Amino acid sequence: MAGRALLVTTSSGVQWHLGRVISRRFENPSAVRLELDVPTWPGNDAGAHVDVRLTAPDGYQASRSYSLASSGESTRVVLMVQELPTGEVSPFLVRHLAEGEDVEVQGPLGRFFVWSRSDTDRSPIQLIAGGSGVVPLFAIASAREREADSSDCRLLYSVRSPRDEMFADELVGLTRTTVDIVHTRQSAPGFQEGGRLTRNTIAERTFAASRSPRVFVCGPSPFVEAVTGWLVDLGHDAARIRTERFGGSS
């Protein structure tokens, strides 16, 4: 693709930007952390996402949404992509997109599923992630850390096994978020034996409805549907629950 300074405004008013991969590294055996330099990036709130568009030599295009692990005013944009082996786009991003290559991103997108430092609500924040759904929730936890936000915050992170975790080192370093990891398939020394989340897990390991937390739930669609159902059943106000569905059949 020619030229570096692509910046196209679409009919929706959200812009396409041209980014360059400045770093890529495997986060775990099936997920890659991509750092892009996007000179025209306007910055983004924590929790927002982009659409990534790939163009084949014959002009065929495919685009998918990816949450931003980064936030703030930097032009450095960080994505974390989990490979779906049968998928069209994620295997290319995980296995083939190389440092120095360009990629188009549209955004920032998603005004509802975000945390902003200008938010005056000081009620507790409950983050609940399934698998790669941890990406925007990590961004929220990191932004709160950076901004020294004083709200109580908990992250419940459901992931298959320790080797599948994302942001493992960074999560350990968080001082303003209590991180609780549940392993659904296997355990390791020092980690609690998990199992899939249930209504009881939600009842026992998240803020009670009586504290009126703001709740962010993100992950595969069936995970989000199940968790939000239990939250409402446990008395949470549906209007306080924000969701982001990554796809997959319900």
Ligand X SMILES: Cc1cc2nc3c(=O)[nH]c(=O)nc-3n(C[C@H](O)[C@H](O)[C@H](O)COP(=O)(O)OP(=O)(O)OC[C@H]3O[C@@H](n4cnc5c(N)ncnc54)[C@H](O)[C@@H]3O)c2cc1C
Direct distance between the N- and C-terminal alpha carbons of the chain, in angstroms, rounded to an integer: 38
What's the CA dihedral at 197, 199, 202, 203 to 10 degrees? -150
Show contacts with ligand X in window 155-184 (CB under 6 A): none
Q: Is 66 in the site for ligand X (CB under 6 A)?
A: yes
C-beta separation of 83 from 95 below 8 A: yes
Show contacts with ligand X in window 85-104 (CB under 6 A): 86-90
Show contacts with ligand X in window 109-138 (CB under 6 A): 132, 135
Show contacts with ligand X in window 1-40 (CB under 6 A): none
Binding pattern to ligand X, positions 204-243, x when CB under 6 A?
----------------x-----------------------
**Considering the complex, what minimum distance in angstroms separates the CB of residue 248 from ligand X?**
3
C-beta separation of 250 from 222 below 8 A: yes
Pick from 67, 158, 228, 243: which binds ligand X (CB under 6 A)? 67
User: Which residue in 195, 215, 194, 58 sits closest to 140, CA to CA?
Assistant: 215
Residue with CB nearest ligand X? Answer: 87
**Considering the complex, what minimum distance in angstroms separates the CB of residue 204 from ligand X?**
26
Burial label, 215 (beta-carbon count in 10 A; 0-12, 13-18, 19+): buried
Taking the C-alpha atoms of residue 218 and residue 69, their distance in angstroms, rounded to an integer, is 13
Binding site for ligand X (CB under 6 A): 49, 64-67, 80-82, 84, 86-90, 132, 135, 220, 244, 246-249
